[in-house]
A and B are shown apart, each in its own frame.
Chain A
Amino acid sequence: MSGDGEKEYIQMVKETAEAMWGPEAADTFGEHIERTAAAVYAVSNYPLEPGVEPVTRFNPGET
């Protein structure tokens, strides 16, 4: 995914939404879909070391 541009990724998600729920719903939800897809794209392209683990039981300040 990191090779795709943001616009192409958002377009792909919108097409997926249209295939799942039809063009009307995809259009109605368009702004949400775009904003979340843009966030997904940003997150997916943020460099991370393999050793960084996901927070699974969030308890800030404790390691």
Chain B
Amino acid sequence: MEPYRLSLTEASHMIWGGILTPTRLAESLLDRVERLEPVVEAWVTVDREAVLEAADAATMEAEEGQFRSPLHGVPYGVKDIFYTRGLRTTMGSTLYSGFFPDRDAAVVKALRDAGAVVLGKTETTEFALHDPAPTRNPWNTGHTPGGSSSGSAAAVSCGMAPMALGSQTGGSVVRPASYCGVVGFKPTYGLLSRDGVYPLSWSLDHVGYMTRTVEDAALTLSTLKPDAAPAVESEDSPRVGLLSGYFKENASDDVWLGYEQAVGKLWGEGAEFIDVELPPSFGMAPSVHRVIMAVEAAAVHEDGLRANPEGYREYIKGFVSSGLLAPATAYLRAQRIRDVILRDVLSSMDGFDCLACPSTVDTAPRGLEWTGSPAFNAPWSLTGLPTVTVPSGISEDELPLGLQLVGRPHRDHDLLEAAAWCEEALGFMEGPMDPYTP
């Protein structure tokens, strides 16, 4: 088997077992990137020489029996808003087309210290907001891969990387992961450091990542946060609170049918599902999220927009301008309502291992003009609760569907445990795919 096909966990085991060298794995992934990139356009920067140099160093350490972590010698992608020392970091903006940071983002440094190898920088929408990257969805190259972590999701989906970092302010990890048929994990707010990640909205921004299996997501979390609370050991199938209401009202027919089929399958495998009514305050989530994000994004970009208005594309200009017009009292009020929503949602989670809902409103939209709606993800970015999307099936239009699970704050491993159970029960575990162009 070509090494690029390996999951992160499989690659890790083979490197530790001396069956695979980091250099061989990196070569396989670089060849895969070279072959698929003209079609998928997932990468902003790949420095082949630097990748092989880092992989060679990891190989030498492994030959001497020195393994820094389970991710030793494993290459991964980095969304292009994460600072990478000496490697161009553009934020998806022409304003930063020549920016070479002199330091790593905290999470990149942690992975570097763990022996992982930066494979390259992945495409993002402009400043991780809306204006799209050129990336195509490997499942159908006429469709968006989602965003803002567009390149990370596409790269993992088609075997160009076993793991890639992303960020989520609205739905920028879970949505593209679901659109591309991979696992997307957004940990509890603040669990992974945002240091060195270009901000969009400080109190909503989360660091997360994509993998092809839940096991890979758990291994990555254990490496990045060894002190995160471990999963409570249980032989039981998960007790899941089923969400409808807002989600049923806004889901496409395809998505809702797929969700019901996935739930039916999990129920058949022994999961316990109980309908949960969303608290009335949840209805305020979209407005509260909008106010906070617009105001914080305005604060981030106010100076830049004033100094270089021609350097910004239209959407972000308009969004930032709208935030500049919001009263301070409205921002504070939104932050107060946010606390009410969080408390109410936590109350409705009582007695459940997690909540479940579809990962996205629809399947990946046709065209590359926009990256889809974050409406099913933004409430969880607002509440900071950990979420994970697990591929759950294929729609009538031959695009992936995802099941989104929502966990309790700081019980991220518990959430991944429930997700692993669902992943196995759903039995939807595709290997890396070759891009399909109709």
Contacts and interface: CB of A to CB of B under 8 A. Distances in A.
B384 A58 contact: yes
Interface string A1-44: 00000000000010011001100010011011101111110111
A52 B337 CA distance: 8
Interface residues of B, number: 41
Interface of A: 13, 16-17, 20-21, 25, 28-29, 31-33, 35-40, 42-44, 46, 48, 52-56, 58-62
Contacts of B326: 36-37, 40
Q: Which of A21, A40, A54 has the most CB of B within 10 A?
A: A40
Contacts of B336: 48, 52-55
Q: Which of A16, A17, A58 has the most CB of B within 10 A?
A: A58
Nearest to B323: A36
A35 B338 contact: no
A60 B321 contact: no
B333 A48 contact: yes
B284 A42 contact: yes
17 contacts: A17-B321, A20-B325, A28-B314, A28-B317, A33-B325, A38-B287, A43-B287, A43-B333, A52-B337, A56-B335, A58-B189, A58-B190, A59-B190, A59-B409, A60-B189, A60-B410, A61-B408
Interface stretch (B31-39, B47-55, B260-268, B288-296): B288-296
B291 to A, nearest CB: 5
B289 to A, nearest CB: 8
A29 B317 contact: yes
A53 B325 contact: no
B340 A52 contact: yes
B110 interface: no
A17 B322 CA distance: 8
